[in-house]
């Protein structure tokens, strides 16, 4: 008798919640969050090193005119971006590209929109030394930091040696690797909580992976294939082709991850798309047809209901991130 009740209950439960096909379940698992942050063998994690990197990240003494920090353009309040179309530099001039988020870069394979840096350590030299950004040679940064007793002590404690260029890069890169987007409603759904996201968002997830073709490039838990594509945006920037001279890479840029995307407007390497509606309008059009445009880009017919579903899905990727506290800087 009891068994029969359980059997009937299972049958009902299956009808009401069990509509998920094995295919959908397998698809969801492709987006499962990783359990740990990967750190490279030649720059392993330590809490003190990450804390030192955080101080350097938020220290204006890394910029020539004491007027910028890394957070000027990678602001935690704005999804680690800066909220403007293209970044504003050291003497208020506009830079050519949009500041990308620093979230989830521990899983990155190349850095910058065109992938010209192979590691985070190598990347950091770029903004510090660029004349239009912080405009300081790393040698000068070492000199400045050496005048600060608190930094001399910190570097000794973390690296067992005095301040040098390599250690500065290692400390900042370690801090950057700790910047991981928080658990989002989407993650709870992947983990089996059916009520974590709406039916509209679930339909959006299926469109994202199906008819809308987004997962052709935005794949895996951070929604990027780490590859370079020309998606047919209006731009003069040669992108990846500047680095590889490969004609297939003309106007190709690194696929951005989509975590916390709601906090990161405007969008694209040049900030061309003011909001998500503009992004979706671009994908519906398929972008400018030209020889370098990715074969995955073509016009997609999506009606208003489907667009709303896609937007509802992407909104479930905004994590519940903890507020970031500012470090007390050494003097």
- Minimum CB distance to ligand HEC, residue 83 (Å): 12
Asked if omega into 266 is within 30° of 0 (cis), the reply is yes
> What is the distance between the alpha carbons of residues 196 and 293, in angstroms, rounded to a whole number?
37
- Minimum CB distance to ligand HEC, residue 38 (Å): 16
The answer to whether 316 touches 186, Cβ cutoff 8 Å, is yes
Residues 6+ apart with CB under 8 A from 108: 120, 226
Q: Which is nearer to ligand HEC, 190 or 297 (CB)?
A: 297
Give the number of other CB atoms < 10 A from CB of residue 292: 19
The answer to whether 62 touches 107, Cβ cutoff 8 Å, is no
Summarize as ranges the residues that interact with ligand HEC (CB under 6 A).
Answer: 57, 62, 68, 70, 72-74, 87, 89, 95, 97, 99-100, 102, 105, 111-113, 120, 123-124, 127-128, 133-134, 172, 176, 212-214, 216-218, 229, 231, 233, 253, 255-256, 258, 261, 264, 267-269, 279, 283, 294, 296-297, 310
- Minimum CB distance to ligand HEC, residue 153 (Å): 21
Q: Which is nearer to ligand HEC, 8 or 290 (CB)?
A: 290
Q: Which is nearer to ligand HEC, 194 or 237 (CB)?
A: 237
Closest CA to 114 of 10, 246, 9: 246
- Minimum CB distance to ligand HEC, residue 273 (Å): 7
Q: Which is nearer to ligand HEC, 119 or 194 (CB)?
A: 119
Q: Which is nearer to ligand HEC, 194 or 220 (CB)?
A: 220
Closest CA to 284 of 207, 226, 227, 229: 207
């Amino acid at each position: 008798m009891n068994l029969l009740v359980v059997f009937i209950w299972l049958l009902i439960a299956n009808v009401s919640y069990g509509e998920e096909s094995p295919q959908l379940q397998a698809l969801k698992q492709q987006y499962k969050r990783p359990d740990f942050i990967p750190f490279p063998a030649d720059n392993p994690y330590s809490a003190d090193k990450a804390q030192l990197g955080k101080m350097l990240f938020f220290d204006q003494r890394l910029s020539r005119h004491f007027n910028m920090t890394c957070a000027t353009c990678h602001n935690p309040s704005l999804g680690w971006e800066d909220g403007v179309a293209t970044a504003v530099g050291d003497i208020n001039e506009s830079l050519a590209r949009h500041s990308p988020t620093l979230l989830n870069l521990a899983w990155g394979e190349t850095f910058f929109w065109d992938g010209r840096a192979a590691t985070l350590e190598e990347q950091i030299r770029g903004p510090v030394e660029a004349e239009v950004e912080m405009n300081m040679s790393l040698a000068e940064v070492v000199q400045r930091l050496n005048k600060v007793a608190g930094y001399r002590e910190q570097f000794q404690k973390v690296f067992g040696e005095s301040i040098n260029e390599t250690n500065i890069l290692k400390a900042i890169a370690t801090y950057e690797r700790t910047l991981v987007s928080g658990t989002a409603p989407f993650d709870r759904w992947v983990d089996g909580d059916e009520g974590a996201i709406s039916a509209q968002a679930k339909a959006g997830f299926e469109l994202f992976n199906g008819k809308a073709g987004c997962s052709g490039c935005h794949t895996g838990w951070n929604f990027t294939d780490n590859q370079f594509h020309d998606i047919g945006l209006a731009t003069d920037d040669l992108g990846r082709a500047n680095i590889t001279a490969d004609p297939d890479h003309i106007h190709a840029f690194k696929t951005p991850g989509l975590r916390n995307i709601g906090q990161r407007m405007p969008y694209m390497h040049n900030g061309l798309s003011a909001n998500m509606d503009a992004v979706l309008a671009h994908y519906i059009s398929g972008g400018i047809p030209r020889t370098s445009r990715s074969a995955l880009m073509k016009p997609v017919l999506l009606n208003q209901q489907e667009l709303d579903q896609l937007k509802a899905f992407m909104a479930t990727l905004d994590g519940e991130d903890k507020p970031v506290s500012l470090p007390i800087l050494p003097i």
